[in-house]
Chain A
Amino acid sequence: MPSSIPASVTAELQDAHGRRKGPVILRSLLRDRYATASIIFLLIVLAFAILGPSLLAEQARALNLKGRNAPPFSLDAGWMFILGGDALGRSLLARIIVASQNTILISATAVLLSVLVGGLLGLVAGYRGGWLGDVLLRLADAIMTFPSMLLAMIVLFVFEPGVSNVIFVLAVSRIPIFMRTVRAEVLELKQRMFVVAARATGASTSRVLFFHIAPMVLPTIINLAALEMAFVMLVESGLSFLGIGIQPPEVTWGLMVADGRNYLGSAWWLAFWPGLAIMLTAMSLNLLTNWLRVVTDPVERWRLETEAR
């Protein structure tokens, strides 16, 4: 057993008979066709995001005269033009795969940042409470009631709109959600017997927070993170579409839709495919969350396991 996993998590993964729960979870995943399909789709997108630019950068930039404004579903210019080509004769498929890197990188990093910062603040606000908790909560409320698009607009108006600033803006606008969720869970958890017992045996505050409370909050956070990633991706695409997000020559799916908008009458596929890619990825994340919610809910999981036996 790898020692980096906290004891409470590995204990979670074993049922009453000491059997590993991995196969049970896998079986429940395979039974949910939607969840299986979305995991496979997300893994493909992830592979594209990681490997795409190094494998296909050439094809995404190459100008193919035969592929100029090539309509989709025709193999005249080769299978790279299955989704069509743009006005310069670049393969749309290759461009979508290359653009997946920025799209995924931005939303994943933004969500990771807001999980870390929001989670930490939530732990502190929930466990310590007091004036610090109050101030943090008020601040979170102020950010949450404010439309995230406006926040992004102001900040990107002041600072140069680039990859790192877009990530920063998106992270800041999502931190309150994670903070509030973690805080609410911690408020309830810290009254529970196992926390009181840990404290009574002399565990330090940080030990109680990170080894006893944090693992209990983790399932909720993972669910929320998948859901938020879909949302963040949509906001980033919207910002890039409006011209205040990612700037050319960098490319994301949202930017590709914006570019394709000018050719709407003559070459619909330029705006259509990147948008479809955004939608399918967001949908997969949402479907995955539905399944995760069932698996991480102890009551529902118990039902699954008794059925599986």
Chain B
Amino acid sequence: MGSFIFKRSFQSILSLIFLVIVVFFLARMTGSPAMLYLPPEATQEQLDAYNALHGFDDPLMVQFGSFIAGVFQGNFGQSLQYSRPALDMVLEAFPTTLALAAVTMPLVLLISIVTGALAAYRPGGAFDRLASLISLIGASMPNFWVAIVGVLVFAVTLNMLPTSGTGTWQHWVLPVAVLVLRPAGVLVQVMRTSMMTALSSVYVKAAKAKGVKARTIIFVHALRNSLLPVITVASDQAAGIVNGAVIVESVFGFPGIGKLMIDSVLMRDFAVIQAAILVTALAVFLINIIVDISYAFVDPRIRHS
């Protein structure tokens, strides 16, 4: 188990290094952002001075060397847009997205585990068919569209919820609801399939024969054995939540890392993009490692092998 986690961490670090290199060189291929930040009537001397100031005129390898040296000192460079350390901006935005994910993920798990388990008890029954249809719709809806329609219905027409921003709990209702949809839709199906497998096993038949109540069979006997595939897919959905956050944050004006990334891509703010991508990737890798460890807690067969 220990060596397994060590191996996974090592791989993650290799992937991260690979990612940093790719992002750095890709970003530099766009050329200097001087044209974007200086007025159009700027002279060549002014452009050169701007490039020299930010080090854009150094050879690529020199820029890369100083970037790497900076990363190890926690310095990702300055934001061109706001003249602030890029890492500070990223770390300010990160908790918002983390909070969004921290509210979304337990909701997703709760909804999908309960719905999927109950749907699996009578496959083809009324509840199963309803759950399948709703989860299918949830997984097929474009999240930006749900966000817009949600704003139209609940904010513009019914005036129940605010259109955008943060502050009260009402601000969180629509973004979280939009974020929950797709992962929940996918996970209900996974849970249903895996619960059906668990329910066809011999120990469930024995429990049924003894006259154990359906609810006890599902949630006590079979639940733990059907959780493993759900955890696997849920960790894949962690990357999906980041995808969703980019859209949800920009629709609802949430000051999270997704909005920061979109804004800095549109404003060609190198330093911020690099810092934001590295921090996000690090978070996703950490989640994956935590999931790997949690397997062992859910399934003793893994712990003892």
Contact = CB atoms under 8 A, between A and B. Distances in A.
Interface of A: 138, 141-142, 144-150, 153-158, 230, 234-235, 237-238, 241-244, 254, 257-258, 261, 264-265, 268, 271-272, 275, 278-279, 282-283, 286-287
B119 to A, nearest CB: 14
A242 B246 contact: yes
A282 B182 CA distance: 12
A146 B266 CA distance: 20
Given A145-B288, A150-B277, A254-B142, A242 B239 contact: no
B148 A154 contact: no
Interface string B1-29: 00000000001101100110001001101
Given A148-B243, A150-B277, A278-B145, A138 B11 contact: yes
A157 B148 contact: no
Given A238-B142, A238-B144, A279-B142, A268 B15 contact: no
Contacts of B137: 279, 283
14 contacts: A138-B14, A144-B239, A149-B243, A150-B243, A150-B281, A155-B26, A157-B27, A237-B145, A242-B246, A242-B247, A244-B262, A264-B148, A275-B148, A282-B139
Nearest to B29: A158
Contact of A275 (B149, B250, B266, B281): B149
Contacts of A138: 11, 14-15
Contacts of A264: 148, 151-152, 156
Contacts of B15: 138, 141-142, 145
Main secondary structure of the interface of A (DSSP, over half): helix
B267 to A, nearest CB: 10
Contacts, number: 130
Contacts of A241: 142, 144, 247
Given A154-B273, A241-B144, A147 B284 contact: yes
Given A264-B151, A283-B136, A150 B142 contact: no
Contacts of B240: 147
Contacts of A154: 23, 26-27, 265, 273, 277
A153 B276 CA distance: 12
A146 B288 CA distance: 11
Interface of B: 11-12, 14-15, 18-19, 23, 26-27, 29-30, 136-137, 139-145, 148-149, 151-152, 156, 236, 239-240, 242-243, 246-247, 250, 261-262, 265-266, 268, 273, 277, 280-281, 284-285, 288
A145 B261 CA distance: 18
Most B CB within 10 A of own CB, among A156, A157, A158, A282: A157
A257 B284 contact: no
A145 B284 contact: yes
B284 A238 contact: no
B243 A157 contact: no
A10 B105 CA distance: 46
Contacts of A146: 19, 239, 281, 284
Contact of A244 (B19, B265, B277, B285): B265
A279 B246 CA distance: 20
A157 B268 contact: yes
A242 B250 contact: yes
Contacts of A254: 142, 144
A157 B270 CA distance: 10
A141 B240 CA distance: 15
Contact of A237 (B139, B142, B246, B284): B142
B243 A235 contact: yes
Contacts of A275: 142, 145, 148-149
Nearest to B274: A154
A237 B240 CA distance: 15
A157 B142 contact: no
Nearest to B16: A142
Contact of A158 (B14, B27, B151, B277): B27
A210 B262 CA distance: 43
Contacts of A141: 11, 15
A235 B244 CA distance: 10
Contacts of A286: 136, 139-140
A261 B27 contact: no
B144 A237 contact: yes
Contacts of B141: 279, 282
Contact of A257 (B11, B145, B239, B265): B145
